[in-house]
Structure 1
């Protein structure tokens, strides 16, 4: 019986995460306001594409990848939902201080996921370590109303997102050529 071989879904998830993270953090660093490009990336590439990658990681039996990609995919979808959900008598707009609490919860989740990378390559460890720092900076910045911390977080987030893009491209190119083209610190 022929068994169906599943391609590596990690590059798709990493690119969805990385590219969306870079775009949003260009905003956080103060270069642009939130644009429809960020919102669309948040829904479709950061959100839906990561969820799809997570489902395929689940099929492959990779609990870490399934948890990471589906969770961060839904992070992007909920973030866009927070920005654009209508308000009414039952639900008010999310104030920055409560957004900080939302981000802090994601930071705690990310810290635990970072511990899970200790058996993985250095590139993945860097992504989760820098993402933990990013969530901490954004949480504190929003809770305290500090534009300076959010700007610093923006630059740190650009680095975090770029590292995910690097790992995605390393996995694609290393897999394509069957050798290390881009090192990932195995």
Structure 2
């Protein structure tokens, strides 16, 4: 989820090193390649790289949309309304996001692969948990002795994902302001939700839901920035890099 669209690995698909790409070298006036067959092959490879799609917008929009739905539910807690999120978690948050992570692997973006595949699996896990046929809800049905069994289990589940998200937030310090802010609000949301469910505090759960809404809006913004940049749209959304220009040159 560095910005999955703005990493050295992703940038390598659109910017070519004349020393490494004979076609780019020829286009820049470097005529060190004399073998026509080699030049034709290099040109074909360069064209393939140029046409490679950027998977980050899909992953970010899938993450944002699924997070927004669950956060709206958490901001107005209702157990029954969570059932509507099962399909979203399976199809968009799970499948689409996991596919985006696989394609981030193809372009060599470790951070994007880890984030999208991880949160895709996260969505799958939530969908399975709330899917009635899975039996999870039945096994955690409230009892007179322990009426909040499900909430306690959700607290444990969410605290594990808080740890995962916190580590990704630390890794995002060398990406962009938008992406770093996204992960900050997300780990804060997960922490509040974990505490709220664990201690059965409705007010804390609602606060976690509102932090999740902010997270989803940040994800939409970063996704839109990535999409508009990939399409060379005339109007670009600002998303400053956290890496200094001197460090980029090295």
Counterpart-to-counterpart distance in 1, 2:176 and 2:101: 19
The answer (yes or no) to whether the contact 1:19–1:162 under 8 Å persists in 2 is no
Unaligned runs of 5+ residues in structure 2 are 1-40, 141-148, 242-250
CA distance in 2, matches of 1:179, 1:104: 42
User: Could you tell me the TM-score, scaled by structure 1's length?
Assistant: 0.92
Shift of 1:176: 1.8
- Output the CA distance in 1 between the equivalents of 2:54 and 2:117: 15
Q: What's the CA shift for 1:180?
A: 6.2
Q: Distance in 2 between matches of 1:86 and 1:153?
A: 26
Equivalent-residue separation in structure 2 for 1:179 and 1:112 (angstroms): 35
Counterpart of 1:143 (choices 186, 194, 198) is 198
Which of these two proteins has the greater Rg computed from alpha carbons?
A: 2
Distance 2:232 2:164 in 1: 35
Match of 2:71 in 1: 25
Determine which structure has the larger helix proportion and give its number.
1
Alpha-carbon deviation of 1:24? 1.0
Runs (4+) of structure 1 moved beyond 4 Å? none
Counterpart check, 1:61 vs 2:111: no
Which of 137, 150, 153 is the aligned partner of 1:95?
A: 150
Deviation at 1:178, TM superposition (A): 5.8
Measured on the aligned residues, the alpha-carbon RMSD in Å equals 1.9
CA contact (8 A) 1:14 1:164 kept: yes
The whole-number CA distance in structure 1 between the counterparts of 2:55 and 2:135 is: 37
Of structures 1 and 2, the one with the larger relative CO (CA 8 A, separation 6+) is 1
Q: CA deviation at 1:87?
A: 2.8
- Measure the CA separation in 2 of the matches of 1:105 and 1:114: 14
- In structure 2, the residue matched to 1:161 is 216
Partners of 2:159 and 2:235 in 1: CA distance: 36
Which residue in the other structure is 2:123 paired with? 76
Unmatched tracts of structure 1, length 5 or more: none
Give yes or no for contact 2:128–2:134 (8 Å, CA) kept in 1: no
The CA distance in 1 between the partners of 2:108 and 2:87, in whole Å, is: 30
